[in-house]
Amino acid sequence: QFRRQLRSLIKWYGYISQIVRMFDKDLHKEFVFCSYLINLLPVEKVDMIDLEGKLKLEYYKLQKTYDGAIMLSEQKGVYEPAKQKGAMGFDEKEPLDEIIDKINEKFKGNFTDGDKVLLTALRDKLMNDQRLSSMAKSSDPQIFTESIFPKAFDDAALESYTESQDTYTSLFEDRNKYNAIMGALAEVIYREMRK
């Protein structure tokens, strides 16, 4: 019974911690302890039920329906890509794509998918900052980029780091990357907030 409850705790904590970030360190320590403890506990003996002679098979039919081999025909063909339907318009870059292009210019394309997630989260956090929005509308680009935005970016990055340390560690390890992301975000966010 205890082993079953322990296994249930491990299973459900592992499931829930993938969905919601848990801030209870004591519960996490208990989870780690239980994960190791369950391997040391003796396995409960399960009595196997003997069904020999207790079940009677009434209907069973085994019949051969096909005899032969399935072969593919040897034909040479050319695969043609699907054609796009509708009128083709000019490609308009999303603000996030523009930011990524600017950062890739500075880092020569070394921008990972994890960095894109990080960038999206930072951009969303900064776009929702009402104080930053009002300052963008009342100041010129140079003052915004050099004076106002760095403080807001630092606050957003630190807040994000406290929420998810593993994800944001790479941002704080490389100062050049940090400055490149901040500069690219500043230009795009300033433009978007002025709309």
Angle between helices 165-173 and 149-163 (to 10 degrees): 140
HSE (side-chain half, CA atoms, 13 Å) at 47: 3
Q: Are residues 35 and 101 in the same domain?
A: no
Answer yes or no: is 86 within a domain: no
Q: What is the DSSP letter of 68?
A: S
Are residues 36 and 99 both part of a single domain?
no
Neighbouring CB atoms inside 10 A of 122's CB total 22
Per-residue pLDDT reduced to its tens digit, 134-163: 888 888 888 888 888 888 888 888 888 777
With respect to residue 150, please indicate whether it lies within any of the assigned structural domains: yes
What pLDDT was estimated at residue 176?
77
Residue numbers of the domain that contains 9: 2-40
Helix 175-194 to helix 95-107 angle (10° resolution) is 150
Domain count, the chain: 2
Q: Let me know: does 38 contact 10? Beta carbons within 8 Å.
A: yes
Are 184 and 113 within one domain?
yes
DSSP state of 53: T
pLDDT value of position 93: 55
The rounded distance, in Å, linking the Cα atoms of 57 and 59 is 6
One domain for residues 35 and 116: no
79 within domain boundaries:
no
- Residues 31 and 107 grouped into a single domain: no
Q: Cα–Cα distance between 19 and 172 in angstroms, integer? A: 26
Residues 110 and 186 reside in one and the same domain: yes
Residue 135, both tokens? 């300052």
> Do 21 and 101 reside in the same domain of the chain?
no
Q: pLDDT tens track of the chain, all 195 residues?
A: 788 899 999 999 988 888 888 788 898 999 999 999 988 888 877 778 887 777 777 777 888 888 888 887 788 777 777 776 655 554 555 666 777 777 777 666 566 666 777 778 888 888 888 888 888 888 888 888 888 888 888 888 888 877 777 667 776 777 777 777 788 778 888 888 877
Domain assignment of residue 62, yes or no: no
53 within some domain:
no
Residue 28 shares a structural domain with residue 100: no
According to the model, what pLDDT value does residue 167 have? 65
Residue 73 belongs to a domain: no
User: What pLDDT is attached to residue 33?
Assistant: 93
Is 152 a domain residue? Answer: yes
pTM for the whole structure = 0.45
- Regarding whether 102 and 29 lie in a shared domain, the answer is no
C-alpha span between 116 and 119 (Å, rounded): 5
Residues 29 and 105 grouped into a single domain: no
Dist. CA 131–CA 154, nearest whole Å: 15
